Amino acid sequence: MPSPYRALFAAPGSKGFSAAGFLGRMPLSMMGIGVVTMISQLTGRYGLAGALSATMALAAAVMGPQVSRMVDRHGQRRVLRPVTLFALAAAAGLLLAARFEWPDWVLFLCAAGIGCVPSIGAMIRARWAALYGGTPKLHTAYSFESVVDEICFIFGPILSIGLSTVWFPEAGPLLAACFLAVGVFWLTSQRATEPVPHPREHHTSGSALRAAGLQVLVATFVATGAIFGAVDVVTVAFAEEQGHKGAASVVLALYAAGSCAAGAVFGLLHFKGAPERRWLLGICAMAVSMIPLLLVGNLPFLAVALFVAGLSIAPTMITTMSLIEQHVPRAKLTEGMTWVSTGLAVGVALGSSVAGWVIDAAGAKAGYGVPAVSGAVAVAVGFLGYRRLSRPVPQREGTHEHHSEREERHVA
């Protein structure tokens, strides 16, 4: 591991919460695609599969920021454990409903319950911000977390799709639920690195989404999320049309591998100039990378095209987290990060649902028009909101006080 990354783990407890975060984030890449695979195998209905995945994403979009807001106010341990138990109960209900062919409304009800799962990535990044806020190490930490995200997306779909196709249809979502339980309860047992709650600030102020810059990031990432949601669903259907449905996991893993490689290199670089320019460039690169997907004719070509497309993902996400640091107060940092995840979730819901309908009506190859259009929308929104991103909020309140409280608690 390059020395800048190794230096991150000099802080006590950093290895533990990072490892727990890795396990807790695996369901992010496993549950949605696992449900799509499970439902398509049991019923053959891609429209239903995409709609259920969209329901989970929409529920996460509604509940995620509220959960993170409570975390900022009351702390990770007090909030994450009961919320996770609720999401696990809903996941169990979905698997039972799918296996025993219960009515569709039961499937949708349980899918909505799964959407209450907390944003583990935001929780881990908040811990890094508590350790290294205001230092160059934070850029490296965010880069490392983006690499971890992509590692999850490399191995998660392989595990989820592979187990569901080779073992039994419910195997992928079941393993995702196990990862969630272990990751969250391990993370919340580590109290020394837990960010200090800010109940007073939340009592006297509104949502983090009131920040104009955050609104631009969230709106743009709705369109970006539509790219991800559509690519997942269409790739599974395209691989099935080609007679190799199990290969979809490998192709999607290469998509994540491109992002992982770019994120690892990006974390070693130190940039000068406005981060919003790099962010807009990243959004444009993501949009352009969707165009070759319209020309795919076989799985090898698709794999190469998705690997190249993935190169722009992690750098854009890393820059986004840096922009959130500039536009959101310290007391609302977890909520702010979750709002971006919410934008992605809404986009995933729209992308996967629309892609499912297009596949049912016109076939998988036509479905790649959905991420291409979504990329164009992301660029348009990014250009329209660029001026708001160039006006960050004043320095976050409570930074020095936050570090002092952490140090006192750690000594105690």
> Total structural domains in the chain?
1
Segment 73-118, tens digit of pLDDT: 888 888 899 999 999 999 999 999 988 888 888 999 999 998 888 8
Alpha carbon distance 86, 115 (integer Å) = 10
Residue 399 has pLDDT above 60, yes or no: no
Amino acid at 139: H
Amino acid at 243: G
Residue 403 has pLDDT above 70, yes or no: no
- Choose the most confident range, by mean pLDDT, from 155-169, 233-247, 257-271, 273-287: 273-287
CA distances from 187 to 24, 103, 124, 368, 408 (A): 8, 36, 9, 38, 21
> What pLDDT was estimated at residue 94?
92
Q: Structural domain of residue 182, as residue ranges?
A: 16-196+208-411
Q: Confirm if 224 and 282 have CB atoms less than 8 A apart.
A: no
The values of phi and psi at residue 135, to 5°, are -120, 160
Q: Confirm if 352 and 230 have CB atoms less than 8 A apart.
A: yes
Place of tokens 């000099």: 10
> What pLDDT was estimated at residue 201?
52
HSE (CB half, 13 Å, CA atoms) of 327?
Answer: 30
Give the residue among 10, 123, 108 at the shortest CA–CA distance from 51.
108
Q: What is the CATH number of the domain that holds 171?
A: 1.20.1250.20
Q: What is the mean pLDDT of residues 276-298?
A: 89
Residue 308 has pLDDT above 90, yes or no: yes
* Span of 112-126, 212-226, 327-341, 391-405 with lowest mean pLDDT: 391-405
Report the share of the chain in percent with pLDDT over 70: 91
Could you count the other beta carbons within 10 Å of the beta carbon of residue 188?
22
- Residue 54 inside a domain? The answer is yes
- Top-confidence residue, 218 or 403: 218
What is the phi-psi region of residue 67: left when phi exceeds 0, alpha when psi lies from -120 to 50, beta otherwise? alpha
- Residue 9 inside a domain? The answer is no
Segment 89-100, tens digit of pLDDT: 999 999 999 888
Q: Confirm if 342 and 218 have CB atoms less than 8 A apart.
A: yes
- Residue 2 inside a domain? The answer is no
- Residue 203 inside a domain? The answer is no
- Residue 123 inside a domain? The answer is yes
Amino acid at 148: V
